Amino acid sequence: MPAYSAAIHGGHRPGQFRHQTPKELEGKTIGIPTGAAQFQQWPAFAKGCGIDAGKVKIVKCRSRRGGAAVINGQVDAIAGFAQGWVPSIEIRGNKQARLLWYADCGVTAVSNGIIVHPDLLKQDPSSSEASWPRA
């Protein structure tokens, strides 16, 4: 069934890591919330970046505990939303965060958005705009 995205917030999905290049993740432990999109996209990211995924240990982490896991040294890196974890890591953990973008390795995704059925757009084109505040 066709559908259209009426609005997108943050289409450049981050993977939040403290390493300079994706290849440096080999031999490291990464925390990824299993329900997160980053968990599903990890194999494509690894393939696109030329990472040997077998050399990376993936551990499940709760999304709200990812920053603490990096700060406490439980994981070397986390995959998730930068806006939530970077401040925590840098301010509370006094560590500098480095972002590696999934899109830089060929993984592009809609982050948060509103999907609209084409029939609704034909019937009422302004309906996709009605609830969005203007900047």
* Structural domains for the chain: 16-109 (3.40.190.10)
Q: Which residues contact 73 (CB under 8 A, 6 or more apart)?
A: none
pLDDT of residue 39: 86
* Sheet strands (E) in 20-90: 29-32, 57-60, 77-78
pLDDT of residue 78: 86
Overall pTM > 0.75: no
Alpha carbons 62 and 47: distance in angstroms, whole number: 25
Alpha carbons 106 and 76: distance in angstroms, whole number: 23
pLDDT of residue 9: 41
Alpha carbons within 13 A on the beta-carbon side of 20: 0
pLDDT tens for the chain, 135 residues: list them: 444 444 444 444 445 455 578 888 999 999 888 788 888 889 999 999 999 999 999 998 876 677 888 888 899 888 877 777 778 888 888 888 888 888 888 887 766 666 677 787 788 877 666 555 544
Alpha carbons 126 and 129: distance in angstroms, whole number: 5
pLDDT of residue 53: 93
What digits encode the pLDDT tens for the residues 102-119?
888 888 776 666 667 778
